[in-house]
């Protein structure tokens, strides 16, 4: 039976999500996270913008206005005005971020009905000032969830190249992270980088992102999509997700070209959307790659039969230093799908695959290495590949699942508030 080691331990928390993105936008740490915290007994409110990601257009059913309140699964969601945009213009992207930060600061004192114990500030460093002013107003704590490590990710994207500006951004980010009560990062490499930059180690927790767990597990039975795409008897290497500049999918086309003669039964299936997809389709046609199939974007909840096509799942990013301490977001879905991985990314993501014994690691932007990895998996027995897939799913459930992540965040929130989490105390 649960008991309370102290009066503070019995007090559940009021948690405010300060996040520019929330459902109906695809957002793993949005509604599923809020719902899970609410199921544990905590009170959750959300302060967010009007849904427009990733297209930069306000979703159907919404109209841009100063403020709108709604309830999703009994969770109050406060939406405030922002400048909707998500194109390649750095100026418009900054205006998008800063407009939400300003609106959230101005509206929060009037629309958030209960003073929170913790502000959970998701990702954008532009929201930090808003969170810190509200902390002073409400006397609460601020936990920042860092998904993009600045200035490294800014430099890697090419949006800022001046060493002087990058140095100034580093100083700004370090001071901002220092002011937070606690930090959550998505990989050990993020943590090591921040400690190297002078942040106290005890302030930073590694909490892996979880994946979309609804309808994503690949089955082993019949699949109508396999017949439709004429993939019976073929060995399918699946890339699922965004096809943008950073993913370097041209390397996969080159690997497919090499496989045409050496591995004629291998098919590369590229599923998803992105700014590079149309160009890649044209390039594949120019190269006469009849062993490459493009599939349209599907929401994560509808990817189960696509994952079921796969004998192997491939992750690929360009060989940029910033990617060595990140975990590509598709990794979690791949592990949950219980298929062997080909991880063509250096650093933390590669370490994760090796530690979980869930696949083969190879260098990025190296089509010959990818072909060798495909050849190795192709040569294994079905039982050997299934064992790798089971290792993948077991690792996900133990280390990266929604249940595991929420428990770690709850512990972090309690610690930030100076309270004890009594959920594990029994007698």
Q: Are residues 203 and 343 in the same domain?
A: no
- Asked whether residue 53 falls in the same domain as residue 103, the answer is yes
- Own/partner long-range contacts of 358-365 (Cβ < 8 Å, ≥24 apart): 358/388, 358/389, 358/391, 358/392, 358/395, 359/312, 359/313, 359/388, 359/392, 363/319, 364/248, 364/251, 364/316, 364/317, 364/318, 364/319, 364/323, 365/248, 365/251, 365/318, 365/319
User: Could you give the count of Cα atoms lying within 13 Å of 305 in the half-sphere of its Cβ?
Assistant: 11
For residue 54, is the peptide bond before it cis, meaning its omega torsion is within 30 degrees of 0?
yes
pTM of the model: 0.85
75-80 and 67-72: which strand pairing? antiparallel
Residue 372 lies in a domain: yes
**102/105 Cα distance (integer angstroms):** 5
pLDDT for position 426:
35
Number of domains making up the chain: 2
Residue 145 corresponds to which tokens in the numbers above?
Answer: 């969830």
> Which pLDDT does position 27 carry in this prediction?
87
Report pLDDT for 301.
75
Q: 402 is written with which tokens?
A: 């929604």
State how far the Cα of 234 lies from the Cα of 223, in Å rounded to an integer. Answer: 13
Q: Are 118 and 142 contained in the same domain?
A: yes
**What's the confidence (pLDDT) of residue 216?**
57
Q: Are residues 254 and 388 in the same domain?
A: yes
41 shares its domain with 188? yes
Is 251 a member of any domain?
yes
Distance of CA 64 to the CA centre of its chain: 27
State the pLDDT at residue 9. 45
Q: Residue 314: helix, strand or coil by DSSP? A: strand
Domain assignment of residue 217, yes or no: no
Residues 139 and 115 sit within 8 Å (Cβ to Cβ): yes
**Domain CATH code at residue 330:** 3.40.50.2000
275's tokens: 């700014």
Counting beta carbons within 10 angstroms of the beta carbon of residue 48, is it exposed (0 to 12), middle (13 to 18) or buried (19 or more)?
A: buried
Indicate if 16 and 75 belong to the same structural domain: yes
Position 2 scores a pLDDT of 38
Residues 234 and 331 both lie in one domain: yes
The pLDDT assigned to 223 comes to: 76
216 in any annotated domain: no
What is the pLDDT, as a whole number, of residue 195? 95
Q: Which CA distances in Å does 23 have to 34, 66, 112, 186?
A: 11, 19, 19, 21
My answer on whether 90 and 205 are in the same domain is yes
CA 36/CA 44 separation, integer angstroms: 10
Are 417 and 326 found together in one domain?
no
Residue in 79, 111, 147, 115 with CA at minimum distance from that of residue 417: 115
Q: Does residue 219 fall inside a structural domain?
A: no
**Residues 264 and 198 placed together within one structural domain of the fold:** no
Q: 213-223 burial by CB neighbour count: b if 16+ within 10 A, else e? A: beebbbeeeeb
Residues 386 and 266 in one domain: yes
DSSP string, 253-311: HHHHHHHHHH-TTEEEEEE---TTHHHHHHHHHHTT-TTEEEE----GGG-HHHHTT-S
**45: closest CA among 11, 65, 70?**
70
Question: What is the residue-level pLDDT of the chain in tens, covering all 427 positions?
Answer: 333 434 444 579 999 999 999 999 988 899 999 999 999 999 999 999 999 988 889 999 999 999 999 999 999 999 999 999 877 777 888 899 999 999 999 999 999 988 999 999 998 899 999 999 999 999 999 999 999 877 776 666 566 667 777 778 888 889 999 999 999 999 999 999 999 999 999 999 999 999 888 755 555 555 788 889 999 999 999 999 999 888 999 999 999 999 999 999 999 999 999 889 999 999 999 999 999 999 998 887 788 889 999 999 999 999 988 889 889 989 999 999 999 999 999 999 999 999 999 999 999 999 999 999 999 999 999 999 999 999 999 999 999 999 999 999 999 999 999 876 554 443 3
167 inside domain: yes
What residues make up the domain containing 250?
224-399
Judge whether 323 lies within some domain.
yes
Count the helix, strand and coil residues of the chain and give each as a percent rounded to the nearest 5. 45, 15, 40
- Domain match, 316 and 412 both: no
Evaluate whether residue 407 is within a structural domain.
yes
């Amino acid at each position: 039976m649960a008991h309370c080691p102290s009066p503070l331990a019995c007090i559940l928390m009021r948690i405010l999500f300060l996040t520019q993105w929330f459902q109906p936008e695809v957002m793993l740490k949005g509604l599923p996270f809020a719902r899970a915290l609410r199921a544990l007994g905590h009170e959750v409110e959300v302060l967010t913008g009007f849904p427009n990601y990733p297209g930069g257009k306000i979703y159907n059913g919404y109209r841009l206005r100063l403020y709108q309140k709604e309830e999703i699964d009994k969770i109050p969601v406060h939406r405030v005005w922002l400048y909707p945009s998500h194109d390649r213009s750095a100026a418009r992207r900054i205006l998008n971020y800063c407009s939400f930060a300003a609106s959230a600061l101005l509206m929060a004192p009037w629309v958030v009905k209960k003073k929170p114990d913790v502000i959970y500030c998701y990702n954008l460093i532009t929201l930090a000032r808003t969170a810190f002013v509200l902390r002073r107003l409400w006397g609460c704590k601020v936990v920042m969830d860092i998904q993009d490590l600045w200035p490294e990710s800014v430099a890697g994207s090419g949006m800022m190249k001046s060493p002087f500006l990058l140095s100034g951004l580093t100083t700004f980010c370090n001071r901002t992270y220092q002011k937070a009560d606690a930090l959550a990062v998505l990989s050990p490499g993020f943590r090591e980088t921040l400690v190297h930059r002078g942040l106290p180690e005890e302030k930073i927790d590694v909490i892996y992102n979880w994946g979309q767990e609804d309808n994503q597990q690949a089955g082993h039975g019949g699949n109508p999509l396999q017949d439709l795409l004429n993939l019976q008897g073929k060995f399918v290497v699946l890339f699922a997700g965004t096809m943008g500049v950073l993913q370097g999918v041209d390397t996969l086309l080159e690997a497919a070209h090499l496989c045409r003669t050496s591995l004629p039964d291998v098919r590369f299936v590229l599923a998803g959307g992105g700014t590079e997809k149309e160009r890649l389709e044209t390039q594949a046609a120019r190269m006469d790659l009849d062993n490459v199939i493009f599939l349209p974007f599907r929401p994560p909840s509808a990817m189960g039969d696509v994952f079921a096509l796969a004998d192997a799942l491939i992750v690929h990013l360009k060989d940029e230093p910033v990617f060595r301490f990140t975990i590509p977001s598709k990794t979690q879905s791949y592990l949950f799908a219980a298929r062997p991985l080909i991880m063509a990314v250096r650093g933390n993501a590669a370490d994760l695959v090796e530690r979980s014994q869930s696949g083969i690691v190879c260098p990025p932007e190296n089509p010959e290495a990818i072909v060798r990895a495909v050849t190795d998996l192709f040569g294994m027995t079905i039982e050997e590949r299934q064992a790798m897939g089971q290792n993948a799913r077991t690792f996900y459930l133990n280390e990266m699942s929604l249940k595991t992540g929420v428990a770690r965040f709850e512990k972090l929130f309690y610690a930030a508030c100076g309270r004890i989490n009594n959920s594990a105390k029994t007698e």
